[in-house]
Amino acid sequence: MSEGAFGRRGWILFAIMSVVWGITYLFIKEAVGSFSPPAVVAGRTLLGGLVLLPFAIRGGALKAALKVWPWVLAFGAVEMAGPFLLLSHAESQLPSGLTGLLVATVPLFAVIIALLRGDRSALAPMRLVGLLLGFAGVAVIVGGPGLFAHGTASFVAIGEILLTALLYAIAPFIIAHKLAGVPSIGTITFALLAVGTVYLVPALLTQHQVPTVRSTVSLVLLGTICTAFAFVAFFALIRQVGPVRAPLFTYVNPVVAIILGTILLAEPVTPGLLIGFPVVLAGCWFAATGGRLRPKAAPATGPGTASIALPEPVPPVD
């Protein structure tokens, strides 16, 4: 599957994912305050799946997903089952800034995977500069003397986040190359319900305290906004710009998390944020566009000219 243009639709989806999965850090931090990590995973996936289920059934999308169930389950394991648990556990031990920095390695892992698959387009000079520039910007924003203040005990959690980043980088390739012909709503719903069902028993066995109202509200928002709605936008972004450039929004996610901390928790605006945020935006733009002001025009098709059929955009959920 070739990458599509990072045009207006791509940038809109990019902005949505930047904000929605940037909020996720805050909601997970609040949810694990009184929910166990397996309970957070079970809660957000089952709730997200139930929200989307009527739409998946109505359009016959769930039936289509069942026909390729091994790949749907593989996607669920790589994008949800593993990362959700690893992230929930690690966030109970690491500062959110370090978590955001490590998750921001997703685009770098995506480039490595693309290279292993024989795709050299990510090595275009301006795109490579953008990738490195964006990561450097994230490092400037979240860096500081307290970044590794949790000592050696946090090394396991750091490994969990890096594994999460690797899994997040693999998932878009499964979507683009194995599930391109399956309606996104069906894939997302089936995967969410399957993961939630697997985690239901561990959730019940590990939940030993009465959840607080604050944690419960955070979990509900995590399941509806940051899971159900976010995955619909995520699939649309991958089908619009391809699996290598789609994860670029992970550079902006920690910035959103820090800005929310400033607004909601009265955390100070640091010099790193003021310096690093423009660097992150510039890096994302170069990595997404290769430095072109306009998307590269698609080659004309006609008699004697071969054309490549790209997947249709994801239909809107209504």
pLDDT of 291 strictly over 80: no
- Look at residue 68 in the predicted model and tell me its pLDDT: 94
Rounded distance between C-alpha atoms, residue 90 and residue 117, angstroms: 30
Mean pLDDT of 14-30: 87
Contact 200, 25 (CB under 8 A): no
Quote the pTM value. Answer: 0.76
Question: Of residues 21 and 255, which shows the higher confidence score?
Answer: 21
pLDDT digits (tens, 9 = 90+) for 138-186: 777 666 544 444 455 467 887 888 899 899 989 999 998 899 889 999 9
Rounded distance between C-alpha atoms, residue 145 and residue 150, angstroms: 11
